[in-house]
Amino acid sequence: MSLSNAVQLIAYADRFGGDLPGLTRLLRSPELAGAFGGVHVLPFFTPFDGADAGFDPVDHTAVDPRLGTWDDVRDLARTHDVVVDLIVNHVSADSAAFQDVRARGDASPWAPMFLTMASVFPDGATEDELTRIYRPRPGLPFTPVRLGDRQRYVWTTFTPQQVDIDVRSEAGRAYLTSILDAVAAADVALVRLDAVGYAVKTPGSTSFMTPETFAFIEEFTAQARARGVDVLVEVHSYYRRQVEIGRSVDLVYDFALPPLVLHALYTGDGRALVRWLGERPVNAVTVLDTHDGIGVIDVGPDQTVEPGDEPRPGLLTPAQIDELVEGIHARTGGASARATGAAASNLDLYQVNSTFYDALGRDDARYLAARAVQLFTPGIPQVYYVGALAGGNDVDLLARTGVGRDINRHRYTDAEIAADLRRPVVAALLGLCRFRTAHPAFDGPADVGLDGSRLTIARRGVAVPDAWATLDVDLASGAARIAWGQGDASGVWEDVLSTGSDGSPGARADGG
């Protein structure tokens, strides 16, 4: 199964449509028709509303009946490329397998599937070995749990509710294969390997994106391809590592793009962005927003440098990253500061929690300029459902749950969706998505230029070699315009703010 070169939506079925059939109806509605050729449906497994919004599945092979069935997933796949999460690093502490281990300890047949401190360090661990373990949260990745008649330190990279799997054990391999078989049978086009950077624990190392991790990714990718499923790797890490990952997988996220776009539009300085556009892997999924926060580790220095090694600088300096983070907080009126880091539970050290629209101060022109840069950057673009509706921070939901990332996880009613679809900024964004999905210029390379604060990205087709499209953005003012055509035709420049009407790029993607 091959993915179409089309814009994809990222959405929770329960928060955008109510359930899987509701999400499908939205995507097939006249309002969204033609804008999205695929959809990444965030975890819909049992339960979809656990401790980590579905990323702590009790049963990863079952669709939560409150959202639908595998037949509903299969129906959605008739009209859209479907992307689903394959959570390879952990399962819920409430899963039947782990509950059996809690009751029976080593006598449980599932015991080898779960990692403990002793299973990784059978001879014990030194302080140096423990402090070298890389983790996205403060502290060590262990939780004391009684397994059978013994108190053990269970490996929990993220939260005590998410118990890490030994992906190299026979039981762990069989478990992951069963999930892969389930999604392949539902005609899923692409699986996203969630948190795969932490999946393999290697004593004496950081246990993050080690050679053993790369070997596991290659092995799993081969399994998926044999079933007709492509693989997207989800790793927040040093930017050069993303380039390396891209060489061995079908697709890798471009997580450096969001902070670099914000930095460029905050400062009018596009040099770091242009540098990255020249180095990044082209087999990438481009995002500005996801269900998580806006990553900053992806543009910072390598945090896994071994003691005594030379430091490896990032795409932005520490001072520039500090200015970026403070810029987000200022533009959100402090809401992102209340949702980020130690200010909220379920914290991540490397992300700022905010909608992308609010991170740009709800400036429609700059927001559409940012989206245009995303859509013109080579790769497969994904637009988060809150971003698709130019949504603001949900401070009420944050106040109710105390979970920082909930600020960017609004639960939309049908009435709210209908109202937002009438907003000019949303109509313009959907027009840009239709243009990107339909125009034949976007299967070719990009020619990037920077003149002062003026950024240009020109695309030219491969299947239709004389098809072209060019984006011109003044990073200082946020003004953006596009032109397109075929052959030597000069085209007509159109401001991105004017898209979304009957004369939008999406309606004239053939250059007419």
**Catalytic residue of the set 19, 64, 194, 494:** 194
Residue 203 φ then ψ, to 5°: -55, 140
Determine the Cα–Cα distance for residues 191 and 6; give it in Å rounded to an integer.
Answer: 17
**Three-class secondary structure of residue 42 per DSSP:** coil
Ligand-binding site membership of 123 (annotated): no
Determine the Cα–Cα distance for residues 381 and 7; give it in Å rounded to an integer.
Answer: 5
| Nearest CA-CA partner of 372 in 326, 425, 324, 336 | 425
Ligand-binding site membership of 292 (annotated): yes
Ligand-binding site membership of 115 (annotated): no
**212 catalytic, yes or no?**
no
Ligand-binding site membership of 162 (annotated): no
Ligand-binding site membership of 192 (annotated): yes
**Catalytic residue of the set 19, 187, 234, 254:** 234
Ligand-binding site membership of 350 (annotated): yes
Ligand-binding site membership of 90 (annotated): yes
The answer to whether the beta carbons of residues 446 and 468 sit under 8 Å apart is no
Ligand-binding site membership of 234 (annotated): yes
Ligand-binding site membership of 135 (annotated): no
**234 catalytic, yes or no?**
yes
Q: Environment class of residue 105 by beta-carbon count within 10 Å: exposed (0-12), middle (13-18) or buried (19+)?
A: middle
| Nearest CA-CA partner of 44 in 26, 70, 24 | 70
Ligand-binding site membership of 439 (annotated): no
Determine the Cα–Cα distance for residues 296 and 384; give it in Å rounded to an integer.
Answer: 18
Ligand-binding site membership of 481 (annotated): no
Ligand-binding site membership of 176 (annotated): no
Q: Environment class of residue 399 by beta-carbon count within 10 Å: exposed (0-12), middle (13-18) or buried (19+)?
A: exposed
Determine the Cα–Cα distance for residues 68 and 50; give it in Å rounded to an integer.
Answer: 17
In this structure, what token pair is assigned to residue 373? Answer: 């840069």
Ligand-binding site membership of 472 (annotated): no
Binding-site residues for substrate: 52, 90, 192-194, 234, 291-292, 348-351, 405
Binding residues: 52, 90, 192-194, 234, 291-292, 348-351, 405
Active site residues: 194, 234
